[in-house]
């Protein structure tokens, strides 16, 4: 079989599987994974605020440190939100490792909603480039990403600590995430 044909067949098969599994789920509550890596607790606190607001907005949220989740478990969710501290302007190696392992399921996260958040020590310390590094991987998976015309445009950021500005943006992002999930799922 020619390579191109094989690729098209595999994509068709995956799309069909997703279609059936979502149909079977029917009106089941949407499930969102909130995954983070955190050494000092700032990114973890952001994850807690985001998961809390996801639940208040009407979806289920499972919060996990990146060490507690396998790449295969990503397939169980309608939405995936990933947070990382800024390490030299990009995601922490632990988050990169999970994303690299997700190659085993390449194509199977197509159409899933994604978002990212980050914390850094300094203003202009690389929060946005860190978020974009995570979103790049999500886009390559075929995931759906929504920006924001107000507030933190790329995803919520903390500078040094989770202050009121940061918490408001975590909650706003979570509310918009669930709103988009509901919109996509209703079609």
Ligand X SMILES: Cc1cc2nc3c(=O)[nH]c(=O)nc-3n(C[C@H](O)[C@H](O)[C@H](O)COP(=O)(O)O)c2cc1C
Site mask for ligand X (CB under 6 A), range 10-39, x = bound: ----------------------------xx
Assess 169 for contact with ligand X (CB under 6 A).
no
- Residue 79 C-beta-side C-alpha neighbours within 13 Å: 34
Number of C-beta neighbours around residue 103 at 10 A? 11
Assess 119 for contact with ligand X (CB under 6 A).
yes
Take residue 52 and report the two structure tokens written for it. 């809390």
Q: Among 14, 15, 69, 89, which residue sits at the site for ligand X (rule: CB under 6 A)? A: 89
Nearer Cβ to ligand X (88/149): 88
Strand, coil or helix: 124: coil
Say if residues 131 and 148 touch (Cβ distance below 8 Å). no
Assess 41 for contact with ligand X (CB under 6 A).
yes
Least separation in angstroms between CB 82 and ligand X: 13
CA–CA distance, 184 with 166 (Å, rounded to integer): 27
> Binding residues for ligand X, per CB under 6 A?
38-44, 85-89, 119-122, 125-126
């Amino acid at each position: 079989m020619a390579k191109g044909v094989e690729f098209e067949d595999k994509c068709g098969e995956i799309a069909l599987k997703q279609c059936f599994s979502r149909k079977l789920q029917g009106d089941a509550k949407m499930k969102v994974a909130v995954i983070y890596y955190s050494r000092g607790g700032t990114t973890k606190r952001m994850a807690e605020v985001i998961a809390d607001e996801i639940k208040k907005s009407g979806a289920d949220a499972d919060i996990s440190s990146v060490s507690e989740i396998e790449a295969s478990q990503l397939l169980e969710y309608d939405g995936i939100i990933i947070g990382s501290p800024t390490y030299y302007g990009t995601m922490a190696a632990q988050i990169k490792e999970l994303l690299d392992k997700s190659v085993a399921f390449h194509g199977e996260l197509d159409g899933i909603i994604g978002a990212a958040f980050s914390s850094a020590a300094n203003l202009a310390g690389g929060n946005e480039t860190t978020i974009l590094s995570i979103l790049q991987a999500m886009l390559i998976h075929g995931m759906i990403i929504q920006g924001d015309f107000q507030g933190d445009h790329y995803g919520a950021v903390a500078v040094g600590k989770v202050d009121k500005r940061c918490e408001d943006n975590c909650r706003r992002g979570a509310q918009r995430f669930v709103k988009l999930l509901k919109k996509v799922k209703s079609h």
